[in-house]
Amino acid sequence: MSTNPNTATPAAKLKIAKYWAASCGGCDISLLEIGPNLLELIKIADVVFWPCAADFKYEDVRNYPDGYIDLCFYNGGIRNSEQEEVARLLRRKSKSLVAYGQCAADGGIPALANLKTVKGIFNASYHDNPSIDNPAGVEPQPVTPSEYGDLEIPRFYPQVLRLKDVVPVDYEIPGCPPQSDRVWEAILALAGGQVPLQNRNVKVACFDKAVCDECKLEKRQVRIKEFKRVHTSIPEPNWCLLEQGYLCVGPATRSGCGALCPQAGMPCEGCYGPAGDVVDQGTAMVSAIASMLDARTEEQAQAMIDQIADPVGTFYRFTLGSSHLKARK
């Protein structure tokens, strides 16, 4: 371990934390994917809160002094009152709070539920569902009286919120999930002091350019003649998927992943969020497509647009929470 030359005593380890909110759990796995670098991490840092990995309690965090945690990774959006409460607690206890992954940064896939009402979501989950046997029509309630006292569960919010909608965020690491090499670079930068622990909403572990700038598939500068889907046809190898008519969101997506999906013959789905200074990823993608359509009339253009299945889920799969649409009005 490194030592402080002024005191000749071992340097204090960083204290790091990680929390899992409204997300799939892939972000926790992605941290483990730094592989052998985990051994380097434990040399410089102690984990003081990571419920997914060890038996930590909220009370442990409440008992820490404010600012005790040097670096906290918060993954997942905020769908209920418990997740908001923990976000506020970790913000208070952390010097640096990082929105880790696309759900925390832009709402991610959970935010697609913002297109539905709470009533509609509950109806699909507890009533109008072929796998549910619920003749009494029971729904979870925030407070349920029982002979042992009131039983409480978190309140379900009308929409999925981003972490920065609730508390100030220092850094964002985009991706669904973030790529492990980019994650390790960000950890080294933060732990090594190359960037300040306290900042405001700065993206790290990614690049400003678009996925297309990383993609090695050939661009032939041809117009899109029709839209296709990968489960109905096989793309021609080594040729830009979007030019072939497969809805690749690479032109509107931030790079940092290495263009992994297009290299495997799968269109980019946009999991690193909007590229560069773009605010609304879907709008940017619509603009890119409009410039590439092989249509001479409005009718021809409309016929091609009608071939696109689920436009919102395609153009805002990971960023509806940060878009101009944001949620059902």
Question: Where in the chain do CATH 3.40.50.700 domains reside?
Answer: 14-110+159-203
User: Residue 23 and residue 30: Cα distance in Å, rounded?
Assistant: 13
Whole-number Cα distances in Å, 52 to 24, 26, 86, 163: 12, 11, 14, 19
- Rounded Cα–Cα distance for residues 35 and 39 (Å): 8
As a whole-number percent, the residues of the chain with pLDDT over 70 amount to: 96
What distance in Å separates the CA atoms of residue 227 and residue 306, rounded to the nearest whole number? Answer: 9
pLDDT at 329: 66
Q: What pLDDT score was predicted for residue 7?
A: 42
The gap from C-alpha 236 to its chain's centroid, in whole angstroms, comes to 30
Q: State the virtual CA torsion across 234, 235, 237, 243 in degrees, nearest 10.
A: 170
Contact criterion met (CB below 8 Å) for 276 and 258: no
Burial 86-104, CB ≥16 within 10 A → b, else e = bbebbbbbbbbbbbbbbbb
CB 93 within 8 A of CB 178: no
Q: Does the pLDDT at position 1 exceed 50?
A: no
Structure tokens at 173: 């690491």
Task: Domain 14-110+159-203: state its class.
Answer: alpha beta
Residue 287's pLDDT is: 94
Q: Which two tokens stand for residue 145?
A: 């009286």
- Taking the CA of residue 22 as centre, how many other CA atoms within 13 Å lie in the half-sphere pointing to its CB? 29
In this predicted structure, what is the pLDDT of residue 187? Answer: 87
Distance CA 174, CA 12 (A): 29
CA distance linking residue 164 with residue 98, whole number of Å: 10
pLDDT-derived band at 17 (thresholds 50, 70, 90) equals very high
Q: How is residue 115 annotated by DSSP?
A: G
In this prediction, residue 289 carries a pLDDT of 94
At residue 35, the pLDDT reads: 86
Q: What is the tens place of the pLDDT at every residue in 78-135?
A: 999 999 999 999 999 999 999 999 999 999 999 999 999 999 999 999 999 899 999 9
Dist CA 204 CA 181 (whole Å): 12
The greatest distance separating any two alpha carbons of the chain, rounded to the nearest whole angstrom, comes to 76
Q: Do the Cβ atoms of 174 and 272 come closer than 8 Å?
A: yes
Give the H or E element holding residue 290. helix 281-290
DSSP state of 304: H
Give the Å distances, CA to CA, from 182 to 73, 140, 186, 290. Answer: 14, 40, 6, 32
pLDDT tens column, 30-81: 988 888 898 888 888 999 999 988 999 999 999 999 999 999 999 999 999 9
Place of tokens 């669904």: 176
Helix (H) or strand (E) holding 86: helix 81-93
202-203/171-173 β-pairing: parallel
Residue 11's pLDDT is 64
**Tokens (6 digits) for 267:** 């269109």
Closest by alpha carbon to 161, among 233, 78, 243, 222?
78
